[in-house]
Structure 1
Amino acid sequence: MSVPPSFSQAPLPPGPGAADPPFDLAEAASYGFWTDEHVRFNDLDPVGHVNNNAFGVYFESGRVALHHALRARVDMRGHAIVMRKITIDYLAEITYPNAVRVGTRVARLGRTSWTTGSGLFVGDRCHATALSVSVLVDAASHRPTPIPDDLRSALEGFL
Structure 2
Amino acid sequence: MFQTIIEPRVSETDGVGHINNTTIPIWLEGGRNQLFTFFNPDLSFQNWKMIILKTTVEYKAQIYYGKQVEIKCWIKRIGNSSLELYEEIWQEGKLTVQATTIYVNYNVQENKSEVIPDEIRRELEKHMYEENEGTP
TM-score normalised by L of structure 2:
0.83
CA displacement at 1:85 relative to structure 2? 0.5
Gaps of 5+ in 2: 129-136
Matched residue, 1:43: 12
- Which residue, 12, 30, 47 being the options, matches 1:61? 30
CA displacement at 1:47 relative to structure 2? 1.1
Percent identity of the aligned residues?
25
Instruction: Give the conservation status (yes or no) of the 8 Å contact 2:73–2:86.
Output: yes
| Structure in which a larger fraction of residues adopt strand | 2
- CA-based RMSD of the aligned residues comes to 1.7
Gaps of 5+ in 1: 1-31
Cα distance in 2 between the residues matched to 1:79 and 1:49:
34
Moved more, 110-119 or 78-87: 78-87
Q: How many residue pairs are counted as aligned between the two chains?
A: 124
Matched residue, 1:155: 124
Q: Which has the larger radius of gyration?
A: 1
- Secondary structure at the aligned position of 2:32 is classed as helix
- Secondary structure at the aligned position of 1:153 is classed as helix
- Which residue, 102, 107, 113 being the options, matches 2:82? 113
Instruction: Give the conservation status (yes or no) of the 8 Å contact 1:66–1:104.
Output: no
- Secondary structure at the aligned position of 2:49 is classed as strand
Written as runs of structure 1 = structure 2, the 5 A alignment for 1:8-157 is: 32-68=1-37, 71-72=40-41, 80-157=49-126
Instruction: Give the conservation status (yes or no) of the 8 Å contact 2:10–2:65.
Output: yes
Matched residue, 1:10: none
Cα distance in 2 between the residues matched to 1:46 and 1:151:
43
The one-letter amino acid of 2:36's match is: H
- Secondary structure at the aligned position of 2:31 is classed as helix
Instruction: Give the conservation status (yes or no) of the 8 Å contact 1:63–1:116.
Output: no
Cα distance in 1 between the residues matched to 2:69 and 2:8:
7
Instruction: Give the conservation status (yes or no) of the 8 Å contact 2:76–2:83.
Output: yes
Cα distance in 1 between the residues matched to 2:109 and 2:99:
30
Moved more, 55-64 or 109-118: 55-64
- Secondary structure at the aligned position of 1:147 is classed as coil
Cα distance in 2 between the residues matched to 1:78 and 1:34:
25
Instruction: Give the conservation status (yes or no) of the 8 Å contact 1:70–1:155.
Output: no
CA displacement at 1:70 relative to structure 2? 5.7
